[in-house]
């Protein structure tokens, strides 16, 4: 994302790109298909530690949402330490944290924006997780229900029979070269 230049400014195009990227960046961090690499070591000249920076705190919280659905977050500044899935902070807990004096934001509207983005992500991840659990339960029921085993066996049998028909019978019917026609005429005059 385009950062501000040495005068603390962005062009209008850079600002538009920054705002679009900022809205979608949180979804990238929270995606279970993305591995997030964090480099938390900051130079000694940094005014705010990583864990107290508002946007860094948000990125950490968003990335931790991904761990519930198979995503991975690694802290590479202290080796390759993988963040373990844990109890997710609710949108209300994170709202309080983002608005506490312990977290530093440079922009006045950032606290509300970050809080809203986290709440939206938390809702989406929770819905995805609930859907995934329902599908797992349905699959378990299908495999453990007494009549389901027979249904699966019957479907598998039908698939095998259909495959045999497709592999052995269709070529006989549709591929008719001269030699085959002669052989068929000999067998069936």
Average pLDDT over residues 67-85: 69
The answer, as to whether pTM is greater than 0.75, is: no
Structure token digits, residue 153? 């066996």
Kindly report, residue by residue over 106-124, the tens digit of the pLDDT. 877 888 888 888 898 888 8
Task: State the average pLDDT over residues 20-49.
Answer: 77
pLDDT value for 19: 82
Kindly list the strands in the beta sheet with 81-82, ordered across the sheet, starting from the edge strand earlier in the chain. 35-38, 72-75, 81-82
Q: How confident is the model at residue 165, as a pLDDT?
A: 67
Q: Are 38 and 74 in contact (CB under 8 A)?
A: yes
- If phi > 0 it is left, if psi is from -120 to 50 it is alpha, else beta; for residue 176 that is beta
pLDDT band at 96 (very low <50, low <70, confident <90, very high): very high
């Amino acid at each position: 994302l385009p950062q501000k230049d040495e005068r603390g400014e962005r062009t209008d195009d850079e600002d538009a790109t920054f705002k679009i990227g900022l809205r979608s960046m949180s979804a990238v961090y929270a995606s279970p298909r993305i591995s997030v690499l964090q480099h938390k070591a900051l130079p000694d000249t940094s005014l705010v530690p990583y864990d107290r920076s508002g946007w860094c705190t948000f990125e950490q919280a968003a990335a931790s949402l991904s761990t519930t659905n198979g995503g991975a977050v690694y802290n590479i500044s202290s080796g390759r330490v993988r963040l373990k899935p844990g109890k997710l902070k609710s949108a209300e807990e994170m709202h309080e944290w983002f608005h506490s004096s312990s977290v530093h934001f440079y922009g006045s509207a950032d606290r509300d924006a970050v809080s809203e983005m986290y709440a939206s992500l938390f809702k989406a991840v929770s819905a995805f997780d609930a859907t995934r659990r329902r599908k797992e339960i349905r699959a378990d029921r299908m495999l453990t229900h007494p009549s389901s085993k027979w249904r699966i066996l019957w479907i598998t049998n039908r698939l095998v029979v259909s495959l045999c028909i497709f592999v052995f019978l269709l070529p006989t019917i549709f591929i008719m070269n001269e030699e085959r026609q002669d052989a068929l005429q000999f067998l069936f005059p």
